[in-house]
Amino acid sequence: MNWYGIIAIWRFEMARFFRSIIQSIVSPVVSTSLYFVVFGAAIGSRIPEVEGVSYGAFIVPGLIMLSVLQQAIQNAAFGIYFPKFIGTIFEVLSAPLSAFEIVIGYVGAAAVKALMIGLIILVTSFFFVDITIAYPFWMIAFLILTCVSFAMLGFILGIWAKSFEQLNLVPLLVVTPLVFLGGSFYSISMLPPVWQTISLFNPVLYLVSGFRWSFFGMADVPVVASLVAVFGFTALCMGIVWWIFRTGYRLKS
Amino acid sequence: MAAIVKVDNVRKTYEGGFEALKGVSLDIEEGEILALLGPNGAGKTTLISTICGITVPTSGAITVGEFDVENDYREARRLIGLVPQEINLEPFEHVQNTVRLSRGLFGKARNDAIVESVLRDLSLWDKRASKIVALSGGMKRRVLIAKALAHEPRVLFLDEPTAGVDVELRKDMWTLVERLREEGVTIILTTHYIEEAEAIADRIGVINNGEILLVEKKDALMARMGQKEMRIELAEPLDAIPEALSGYNLQRAENGCRLIYTYDTAAERTGITRLLNDLQASGLVLRDMQTSQSSLEDIFVGLVRESA
C-alpha cells in the first residue's frame, strides 16, 4: 500500500475543506438552525408528538441525514471533478497509486468531512431540542456507512460529470427530492397507503429510518432492512468504482 | 550504457480510430538527454503519456528501470517525474503544499529539506507561501517542474517545458537540465524549439505521424545530414550561370548578384578549390564569400517533409 500517497490525497482534500471553513462548516450549521427554528419551534409547536417523540426531536435524524448526504456527495464529486476540470488529475493517474488507494484518499476525505458536519449538526440540535440517543453505537455506524457510501456515489458522479451543470444536477434533482420524500420530516405512517408503498422504493427511507431507530428505537421499516439497504448500496457503489478504474472510464484515454 | 526506458513496438489507437502511435520502439539510455522533435500532433505527448501511465497503450510493452509500466506500475512510476505541457495546477493551493503533495503521491515520506532544496533550485523559495493563482506564467511552469522533482525521480519527462517562456527562464531551465544530468537524471524533452534540442540534447529523436523517423546522436546526425552552403557575392550580376560552371550544384540568387554552392562536408572532396579556379577562369569578380552549416531545423524540416 502507498500510504503516503493516500495520506497526501486525504490531506490535500481536507485542506480544501478548511480553506473554505465558512462555507464548509458555518453554512450547514446556520441552515440546520433555521430548520429547527421553522419546523421545530414555529410549525413543530402545533404538531402533536410523533409516536411519543416531540416533532422538534423527531426531525433531528432526518436533518442530519439531509446534510450528510448532500455534503458527502458534493465533497467527493467536487474533489475528483475539479482535478479533472483543471487537468491536475494527470498527477494522480501517473503516481504509483492503485485505484483502491485513490478511492480511499478521495472518498475517505469526503466521508470524514460529511461525518464532521453530521456531528456538528447533532451537537447544534442539542441547543434546540431534548434528545437522547438510544443506540449510540448504531447511530455512529449508520452515520459512517452513509457518509462512505454516498461519498462513493459522489465520486462516481464527479467522474461521470462533464460539466459543472451535470455535477450539480444529480444532487439537486435526485438526491434532495429523495431525502425530502424519504421520511426525513415525517413518519411514512402519516402518508396515504399508496404513497407509503411508493416510499418503500426510496432507498433514502431505509437510511433515515434506521438512523432514527438508533435515536428513538422506532422505525418505519425493520432495522435489518435498513442495514441491508446501506450495505447493499455501499457494495453497488464499490462495484461501479471498480468498473470505472478497470476500464479507465472518463479518466484515461 | 544501459537503457533505462525501453519502448517496444507500442501502438495507440484512440476511440474513433485515430492511430497516434504506429509501432514505436525506442531505447532511452541512462543519464542522457534525449530531445524528441516533431510537429504538432506527431505523437510526442501520447508517447510520454503512455510511458507515464496516463494513456493505456493498445499494444506493445514499455519498461522503466526494467519494471513493466503496467504490471509493475508502482516501481516503474516511482522512477518517473513528469512535467506536462499544459500548466495544470490547483489555483488556490500554496506552492510549498502542492510540492509536498506531489512527493506524497509518489510514496515518499515528507521531507521538508528536499522540498526546500527543489524550491531553491528553481528560485521558488521566496514564493513558497504564495497561492499559485498569484504567480506569473513562468513561475507556474517552475512549480510544475518542482512538483515533478519532489520525489527525486531518475527519469524526467519535460513535455515542451519552454513553450511560451521568456529567454531568461529558458536559459535557467537549460542550466537546471544540465545540473540534473550531472546528478545522473535521465531527461527526455519534447520541444518545438530546435535550437533547444541543438543546445542541450545528447541524442535527437524525430517523430512524425506516430512513427519514429530516427534516433541518433546529435553530433553524428548533424555531421551525417548536415550540408554546407557557400554563398558567393559577385561584383556584377549574372543573367545565367555560365556554361563552364554548369557542372556545379550552383544556384542564382539576389537577381544574379549571388551564387549559392551546396556541398556535403562528409564527402571526400568538397569541390571548393576547383569551383574557385573555374570562377576565376570564367572571369567573374568576387566581392565576398561566406559558408554556413545547415541547422538541425533544416534537417528536421527535411525529414518531416520526406515522411509526409
Q: Which residues in chain B are contacts of A97 at CB distance < 8 A?
A: 105
Each residue's pLDDT tens digit, B243-263:
888 888 888 888 888 999 988
The fold of the B3-223 domain, in CATH, is Rossmann fold (3.40.50)
The domain spans of chain A are 3-247
For B23-42, letters b (16+ CB in 10 Å) and e give: ebebebeebbbbbbbbeeeb
Residue of chain B with shortest Cα separation from A101? B105
The pLDDT of residue B113: 94
Q: Is B89–A252 a contact, with Cβ atoms under 8 angstroms apart?
A: no
Q: Determine the average pLDDT of the residues in A137-149.
A: 93
pLDDT at B138 over 70: yes
- Mean pLDDT in chain B? 88
Contact list, A245 vs chain B (CB under 8 Å): none
Least confident of A16-20, A158-162, B237-241: A16-20
Q: Are B222 and B297 in contact (CB under 8 A)?
A: no
Cβ <8 Å between A252 and B54 = yes
pLDDT band at B171 (very low <50, low <70, confident <90, very high): confident
Position A166 pLDDT exceeds 70: yes
Mean pLDDT, residues B148-166 taken together: 88
Q: Is the pLDDT of residue A160 over 70?
A: yes
Contact B86 A88 (CB under 8 A): no
> Average per-residue pLDDT in chain A?
87
Q: Residue B254 carries which DSSP code? A: G
Q: List chain B domain ranges.
A: 3-223, 226-294
Nearest residue in chain A measured CA to CA from B77: A96
Of A138, A187, A5, A167, the closest CA to residue A73 belongs to A167
Contact partners, residue B299, CB within 8 Å, separation at least 6: B221, B222, B225, B226
Assigned CATH for B226-294:
3.30.70
B46 to chain A: closest CA residue: A253
CA B88 to chain centre: 21
**Beta-strand pair B3-13/B59-64:** antiparallel
The percentage of residues in chain B with a pLDDT greater than 70, rounded to a whole number, is 97
| Cβ contact B109–A9 (<8 Å) | no
Residue type, B6: K
Q: What is the ipTM of this complex?
A: 0.84
Cα(A16)–Cα(A82) distance, integer angstroms: 11
